[in-house]
Amino acid sequence: MTKDKESITRSFCFVYILTLIVGTIIQFSDESEFAVDMSKMKLTHVPKDLSPKTKVLDISQNYISKLHISDISYLLGLEVLTLSYNRLQCLDFSIFKFNQDLEYLDLSHNQLQKTSCHLIRSLKHLDLSFNDFDVLPICKEFGNLTQLNFLGLSGTRLRQLDLLPIAHLHLSHILLDLEGYYAKESETESLQILNTKTLHLVFHPNQLFSVQVNISVNSLRCLQLTNIKLNNDNCQILIKFLSELIRGPTLLNFTLKHVETTWKCLVRVFQFLWPKPVEYLNIYNLIIVESIDEEDFTYSKTALKALKIEHVTNRVFIYSQTVLYTFFSEMNIMMLTLSDTPFIHMLCPQTSSTFKFLNFTQNVFTDSVFQNCSKLVRLETLILQKNKLKGLYNIGLMTKHMTSLEILDVSWNSLEYDRHDGNCTWGGSIVVLNLSSNILTDSVFRCLPPKVKVLDLYDNRIRSIPKLIMKLEALQELNVASNSLAHLPDCGAFSSLSVLIIDHNSISNPSADFFHSCQKIRSIRAGNNPFQCTCELREFIQNIGQVSSEVVEGWPDSYKCDNPESYKGTPLKDFHVSQLSCNTALLLVTIGVTVLVLTVTVTALCMYFDLPWYLRMVCQWTQTRHRARNLPLEELQRTLQFHAFISYSEHDSAWVKNELVPYLEKEDLRICLHERNFVPGKSIVENIINCIEKSYKSIFVLSPNFVQSEWCHYELYFAHHNLFHEGSNNLILILLEPIPQNCIPSKYHKLKALMTQRTYLEWPKEKSKHGLFWANIRAAFNMKLTLIAENNNAETYKKSGNSI
């Protein structure tokens, strides 16, 4: 509603200026490929290297003094040319004869004194203002510019029929520069401007207004006068000047810019305009001089709807403030804007006021303004931005009697609320409240209008939204951006909330339940917060990713990780973490199951490969090796006492004793057998290890009986272990009978490996082959034992004859 009312007060002539003057440039500037900006480059001539495709050319604010046809004749598609603020003194329009598409030509602020009349008919905007023309540069050829909308002119003298050549044209805007205008005091000139909607007259900025020209305009709707300097003596000259311009009933918008006047003259101008058909009166950059005294003013019936005064400078230091404030407060209009003024107060009207819109932006108002004022019952919009307001409680009291107030803007003040101030009282009709850019804290939620629908708390000091607050069931839009909130709000107190702006806060772990509790949300802006990308954020990211991008504004560009450092700058949509690492219970169950499966697997493998047996064997071997390390050096030097240790099954003993042992001993080989060489008192395992270590070779007689003997396997295990430990090749395998692979127990994998990897001697059944077998046996013993102490060895050999 505020924007609608402000648009009403907007100057009608500015709409035309923006649309017709600037609009064309913007339209073509979007096509950057065809727009060239060479302004402020100290050019003395038009560059020759421009693209022939150029449509928009800006060479303003340079030092160009002459234009030649060759400068722009090749720019056949040129549509916009800006040459303002250069040093042109004369111009022949025929140089544009090849630019048949030229629509916008700005030659203002040059030194032009002469122009030719060979104009391009396609022109829509022609500005020749602020030049050095003696009379208005109009010739009959101007009448051919049927598409012309804007025309800017300069002249020091005016003649009644100067504009006759364009009388039949329906122009939207005429700018008439009269800064250099001069006429004798006794002369009154006339100028007839037949058809235009907007007329802008610019006078000399440092001279008292003295233009005595009768200017008549048909169907004028917008009038703007710039540089008006008045005192009490020449005030009537302006009023007489205006009386000629405002005779018709069509003028709706009147604007004064850069006005210096006395208070008395200003009141006289207002009194003159009050009964006129003007609906919108705008004054910009007003300077009040001399004195401010009470002046008679009749608030008669008026067509004026809106008065806007912006940027007031008061050069009167001693005056009655009541006079000043009363003049404005008693106006019988609907809309009043007094912004950027030194006013410190505004009085309550004495009678029921017609004001519906009041804008007092950037003044020095305090909390006392409009207190106990019951005359603003029609007021719908009140804007008090950028003042000296401090107490929110007092602002609520101010609105108590404003029964029609719907929109209140008190942003950019120093408002705060202390709960000790008491319960707040507000006007019951307020639906839009702007409290942005103040110093309000969490307590503000205990001092709000109950029916507010749009609440702006941007840029305050709010750290949290208390749970125990008054229910704002009508609230639809909430802006709490740029505060210090750590969490998204719970919609329990805002059951109708549909728009939430909460970016630039301190939210690190937003609640994943937000969209469940705020199901009416149709727009949320929560980006640019220091999101902590951890497991807690995972569910929120999933929920927000399922919502439409039209609902979540700024997603995903404004939503990035801030912590931990490794994820800093990562968009939330790219942050992924597994459910397993975020669910402690699931993680413990997974670890437990994994450990259990691993334990069962290891146990099964141990049982399958008979690991306990191997562990016992390693233990026994280690103990024996440890005892061996403790023996004296002399005893270790005579460790090797036998050529061979024979390991066999008891079921194969007949072959060993009748065939193998007799043959080997016949060859002078000393043989170690368990029944005659094991030492009584030692364990079987220790005897096996000692015999293997004291023997140069270990002979294993393999047969199906062998693989069924556990002690045979012990002997094979230790012999194989000694093979790797000593680094010698001391194993001789004799296959007495074939052994099927399926007969070897699975736990005897070493036996399987040895039979696969090592060469073994097979006992032949045919006697004719026995000779070769024994030859291979003899070849395996290629070493003769050196007996260091024969007597000791003999004694050892004698002892070794004992059996277990």
Q: Please write the tens of the pLDDT for every residue from 599-622.
A: 888 878 776 665 665 565 555 456
The pLDDT tens digits of the residues spanning 687-734 come to: 777 887 888 888 888 888 777 776 666 666 665 555 444 445 677 888
- Could you tell me the pLDDT band of residue 787, with boundaries at 50, 70 and 90? very low
Give me the mean pLDDT over the 620-626 stretch: 53
What is the predicted pLDDT for the residue at 58? 96
Query: In the predicted model, what is the mean pLDDT of the chain?
Result: 83
Give me the mean pLDDT over the 578-588 stretch: 69
Instruction: Tell which residue, 444, 432, 436, 524, has the closest CA to residue 475.
Output: 432
Q: SS3 of 378, please?
A: coil
d(CA 274, CA 743): 125
What is the predicted pLDDT for the residue at 28? 40
- 129 vs 162, which has greater pLDDT? 129
68-72, 557-561, 733-737: segment of lowest average pLDDT = 733-737
- Helices (H), ranges, 546-699: 579-582, 584-608, 611-629, 633-637, 653-655, 661-666, 674-677, 684-693
Max Cα distance, the chain (Å)? 164
CA distances from 582 to 514, 567, 703 (A): 20, 17, 61
Q: Can you give the length of the chain in residues?
A: 804
**Confidence check: pLDDT of 267 > 90:** yes
**Confidence check: pLDDT of 295 > 60:** yes
- Could you tell me the pLDDT band of residue 30, with boundaries at 50, 70 and 90? very low
**Confidence check: pLDDT of 535 > 70:** yes
d(CA 755, CA 661): 23
Give me the mean pLDDT over the 621-629 stretch: 53
The DSSP secondary structure of 626-643, one letter per residue, reads HHHHTS-HHHHHT---EE
**Confidence check: pLDDT of 795 > 70:** no
**Confidence check: pLDDT of 632 > 60:** no
What is the predicted pLDDT for the residue at 348? 95
- Could you tell me the pLDDT band of residue 15, with boundaries at 50, 70 and 90? very low
Highest mean pLDDT among 108-117, 514-523, 591-600, 651-660: 108-117
The pLDDT tens digits of the residues spanning 471-528 come to: 788 999 999 999 999 999 888 888 899 999 999 999 998 888 888 888 889 999 999 9
d(CA 106, CA 104): 7
Give me the mean pLDDT over the 379-383 stretch: 97
What is the predicted pLDDT for the residue at 764? 84
The DSSP code for 676 is H
Element (H, E) at 770: helix 770-780
What is the predicted pLDDT for the residue at 642? 85
What is the predicted pLDDT for the residue at 118? 83
Where b means 16+ CB within 10 Å and e means fewer, 722-745 reads: bbeeeeeebbbbbbbeebeeeebe
The DSSP secondary structure of 151-197, one letter per residue, reads EEEE-SB--TTTTGGGTT--EEEEEEEETT----TT--EEEEEEEEE
What is the predicted pLDDT for the residue at 55? 94
**Confidence check: pLDDT of 321 > 80:** yes
The DSSP secondary structure of 219-284, one letter per residue, reads S--EEEEEEEE--TTTHHHHHHHHHHHT-SS---EEEEEEEEEEHHHHHHHHHHHTTSS--EEEEE
Q: SS3 of 585, please?
A: helix
Give me the mean pLDDT over the 756-773 stretch: 78
Give me the mean pLDDT over the 165-181 stretch: 90
69-73, 314-318, 742-746: segment of lowest average pLDDT = 742-746
What is the predicted pLDDT for the residue at 192? 82
